Amino acid sequence: MARRPARVQVDPESIDSNERPPQTGNIFNIWYSKWSGGDSSDRNTQTHSKTRCNIERDSGYTKADKEQDPFFCLYFSRGACCLGKKCEYLHRLPKETDSWIPHTLDCFGREKFAEYRDDMGGVGNFNKINRTLFVGRINEMDDSIELKISKNFAEWGEIDRIRVIPTKNIAFVTYRNELNAQFAKEAMAHQSLDLDNENEILSVKWANEDPNPESKAKIEHEHNLRKLSVAKQLVEKLEKLKQYESEKRSAVTVEEPDKIEDFSPKRQKMIQPSPLTPAFFNGSLSVLSELKQKKAHPQKNQTLVEYSSDDSD
């Protein structure tokens, strides 16, 4: 744990509160009883980022270091958290040992989806292990480009390999750990390789599958393991959802006045699972039925079949 308190990256006075939507907000996260959201997709891609995280200078402990299973601060990754040690999210780089983050969420606690967005932006896909970022809109492809990319991207985690395609002004950066790729995607979005070069506004997205045939079998094996693990997590999640639903139902029938107080609007909101986005939910269900059809794993299938028949009525 960091011994030093996290640095306040931007002056709270300088921030219009409308500019900072809550990191958690759009989607109710049943595992953590929190709301998750804060997708960067709506950020203006034509504007250079005004802030940039400096890990060495900015990281330190926050309230999150005392929490169980905390997430990383999205605003910290962009160099724009005004809360410092008061922040409820982690202000440091993800590490290999941060294994509590379920595969259906990213390191910032945002829901992933069953498929990538068409433009390969967004939070990502829970069926794929993706450690590779696509870096586009690089201004100059000179001899030092690989070194420059390495210097910029290694700030966010250990890099496995860098592939530069000079004719297209693009590059691919593969991290050792997927959580670092998630962090780097936010940290490097709308930045430039040369500090203060406002003419360069990098586009950082998820890369498509690795075209290297040597690693294909290994990747496929990893993906199959990931799909099974995700299916298990989704089943657990759906069981929790059912539990919430039945709690909600029993809450309606409670009549003693002191019990009713427990279900004040605030409490109601906490146990209200309905705002799960249909898109995410459909995604989850399609993964479950896909796995069920494949009959890859008899034991798991049993659970899946039970779930599906319950759900359809």
Taking the complex as a whole, the smallest distance from the CB of residue 224 to Zn ion amounts, in Å, to 36
Taking the complex as a whole, the smallest distance from the CB of residue 200 to Zn ion amounts, in Å, to 27
Buried b / exposed e over 250-272, threshold 16 CB at 10 Å, is eeeeeeeeeeeeebeeeeeeeee
Q: Which C-beta is closer to Zn ion: that of 89 or that of 126?
A: 89
- What gap in Å lies between CA 9 and CA 84, rounded to an integer? 7
Taking the complex as a whole, the smallest distance from the CB of residue 12 to Zn ion amounts, in Å, to 12
- What gap in Å lies between CA 235 and CA 241, rounded to an integer? 10
Q: Which C-beta is closer to Zn ion: that of 155 or that of 200?
A: 155
Q: Which C-beta is closer to Zn ion: that of 5 or that of 166?
A: 5
Q: Which C-beta is closer to Zn ion: that of 75 or that of 113?
A: 75
Q: Which C-beta is closer to Zn ion: that of 87 or that of 138?
A: 87
Binding site for Zn ion (CB under 5 A): 73, 76, 81, 83, 87, 89
Alpha-helical (H) ranges within 177-297 are: 178-188, 216-253, 257-262, 265-271, 278-294
Taking the complex as a whole, the smallest distance from the CB of residue 6 to Zn ion amounts, in Å, to 7
Q: Which C-beta is closer to Zn ion: that of 74 or that of 201?
A: 74
Measured at the alpha carbon of residue 272, what is the angle toward residues 271 and 278, in degrees to the nearest 5?
135
- Residue 106 near residue 124 (C-beta atoms within 8 A): yes
Taking the complex as a whole, the smallest distance from the CB of residue 68 to Zn ion amounts, in Å, to 18
Q: Which C-beta is closer to Zn ion: that of 95 or that of 176?
A: 95
- What gap in Å lies between CA 235 and CA 232, rounded to an integer? 5
Q: Which C-beta is closer to Zn ion: that of 60 or that of 283?
A: 60
Taking the complex as a whole, the smallest distance from the CB of residue 65 to Zn ion amounts, in Å, to 12
- Residue 244 near residue 273 (C-beta atoms within 8 A): yes
Mention every residue, 6+ apart, whose C-beta is less than 8 A from residue 304: 231, 235, 288, 289, 291, 292
Strands 203-206 and 159-165: unpaired
* Chain Cα centroid distance, residue 236: 19
Dihedral sign (CA 194, 195, 197, 202): positive
For residue 312, count CB atoms less than 10 angstroms from its CB and return exposed for 0-12, middle for 13-18, buried for 19 or more: exposed
Taking the complex as a whole, the smallest distance from the CB of residue 94 to Zn ion amounts, in Å, to 14
- Residue 155 near residue 172 (C-beta atoms within 8 A): no
Closest-CA residue to 113 (of 311, 232, 305, 276) = 276
Taking the complex as a whole, the smallest distance from the CB of residue 267 to Zn ion amounts, in Å, to 27
Q: Which C-beta is closer to Zn ion: that of 21 or that of 136?
A: 21
Taking the complex as a whole, the smallest distance from the CB of residue 89 to Zn ion amounts, in Å, to 5
DSSP state of 112: P
